[in-house]
Amino acid sequence: MSLELLWYIPNTVEAGHRGDDEANKWTSLDLSAELAQSAEDHGWGGALLGTGWGRPDTFTVATSLAARTTRFKPLIAIRPGYWQPAHFASAAATLDQLSRGRVLVNIVSGQDNLAAYGDTEGDQAERYTRTREFMQIVRRLWTEEGVTFRGRYFTVEGSTLSLRPYGAEDGRHPRLYFGGASAAAEQVSAAEADVQLFWGEPLDGVAERIDRLKALTRSLGRAHAPLEFGLRITTLVRDTTEEAWRDAEAKVAQMAASAGKNLNDGHQRKAVGQARLLDLAERGEVLDSCLYTTPGKFGAGGAWTTWLVGSHDEVGAALRKYQDLGITHFVLSDTPYRHEVVRVGDQLLSRLRDPVAA
């Protein structure tokens, strides 16, 4: 399996995202395009674009960035309910053709301000059942003609896309990434996703989940190519161990002083995956070789909850241990984004692409 190395573009109207020192809002096309171009120039395959009501529309931003780059692949986070599946399938296939196969898709089913855009809440099981229908319709529209689907949440009748994804004649379509740690989420991932994304858990937790998901794919009779696995995590890397930990502790002190302002990013403990991350601090401040759990104590959420901290060699070695478990997709980040995309790209990515040389 090929290795996919992605950065992160915050896509937010607020400055100071996760401690970033950029004074301007990331709604500036020039600013986001500069970060996308820098990712392209420093070894990254592309970047994840965050989503959520109140942020700029992720698909519009992704389209703009694809037009300003040549190889950059946007991992476009989207939500069922905000999009109808046929509408999204058509939009994504169009952008994929225009960009010559550079579209990646991250399906998000977690909490959001649903009422703001006319959606309804539903319980967890309902959300994931709807997500599964969404993914089934999108896949079929990318690969079939005259699609009819009558589900509980979505229906299409005799639907055919006039423009398929780039390389559709050879069976190719944009990869569908998916997260979620609940039993309902894992059922969806095992059946319909191309890539299951994990947050920054210790190696034993990731190994256990990979084993469980592989067993689920067999029990569900998965019809697609084998499920692949990815890791979304913060990587704080410096030239030396001492410098890395000094800077990590300084960042956490700043987070503690600000009481988590602008750092929580909307994640709640009731989300199973987020709860798993927050509980890690009870096992210790540092797990495995260099997984730092303390940020989660001060309002950090998602990929900002746990960090891999150390020299480039140490963090590279830690990431290679995830590779040994079967992780082939990495979505990494640290702030300030414009500085760290260069540092991490230049100093860390070669250690993942060529472990023998590293």
Q: Give the chain's domain count.
A: 1
What pTM, to 2 d.p., does this model score? 0.93
DSSP 8-state symbol, 336: S
Question: When comparing pLDDT for 59 and 303, which is higher?
Answer: 59
The residue segments making up the domain with residue 79 are: 4-234+309-353
Question: When comparing pLDDT for 266 and 9, which is higher?
Answer: 9
- On the question of pLDDT at 262 being above 60, the answer is no
Distances (CA, A) of 76 to 128, 343, 347: 19, 24, 26
Over residues 223-233, the mean pLDDT reads 97
**Range among 22-31, 45-54, 279-288, 323-332 rated most confident:** 323-332
Question: When comparing pLDDT for 114 and 6, which is higher?
Answer: 6
Tell me, yes or no, whether 292 lies in a domain: no
What is the reported pLDDT for 303? 84
Over residues 215-230, the mean pLDDT reads 96
Over residues 167-186, the mean pLDDT reads 95
- On the question of pLDDT at 123 being above 90, the answer is no
Query: The domain that contains 177 carries what CATH number?
Result: 3.20.20.30
Distances (CA, A) of 197 to 39, 107, 234, 265, 327: 20, 10, 14, 18, 9
How far apart CA 303 and CA 198 sit, in angstroms, is 9
Over residues 234-255, the mean pLDDT reads 95
What is the reported pLDDT for 17? 67
Tell me, yes or no, whether 298 lies in a domain: no
**Helix (H, G, I), strand (E, B), or coil: what is residue 197?**
strand
What is the reported pLDDT for 266? 45
What is the reported pLDDT for 301? 75
Tell me, yes or no, whether 101 lies in a domain: yes
Q: How far is CA 7 from the centre of its chain?
A: 9
CB 214 within 8 A of CB 241: no
Question: At 88, which amino acid appears?
Answer: F
Kindly report which listed range (29-33, 68-72, 128-132, 216-220) carries the lowest average pLDDT score. Answer: 29-33
Per-residue pLDDT band for 2 (boundaries 50, 70, 90) equals confident
Tell me, yes or no, whether 328 lies in a domain: yes
Per-residue pLDDT band for 274 (boundaries 50, 70, 90) equals confident
Which phi and psi angles does 67 have, rounded to 5°?
-70, -20
What is the reported pLDDT for 355? 64
Q: Which residues contact 177 (CB under 8 A, 6 or more apart)?
A: 75, 104, 105, 106, 107, 193, 194, 195, 196, 197, 230, 329
What is the reported pLDDT for 1? 65
- On the question of pLDDT at 101 being above 60, the answer is yes
What is the reported pLDDT for 267? 43
Tell me, yes or no, whether 15 lies in a domain: yes
- On the question of pLDDT at 15 being above 70, the answer is no
Tell me, yes or no, whether 151 lies in a domain: yes
Over residues 278-305, the mean pLDDT reads 87
- On the question of pLDDT at 199 being above 60, the answer is yes
- On the question of pLDDT at 160 being above 90, the answer is yes
- On the question of pLDDT at 40 being above 60, the answer is yes
Average confidence score pLDDT of the chain = 90
Kindly report which listed range (95-99, 150-154, 271-275, 322-326) carries the lowest average pLDDT score. Answer: 271-275
- On the question of pLDDT at 265 being above 60, the answer is no
Tell me, yes or no, whether 280 lies in a domain: no
Tell me, yes or no, whether 184 lies in a domain: yes
How far apart CA 320 and CA 339 sit, in angstroms, is 23
Q: Which of 164, 162, 165 is nearest to 175 (CA)?
A: 165
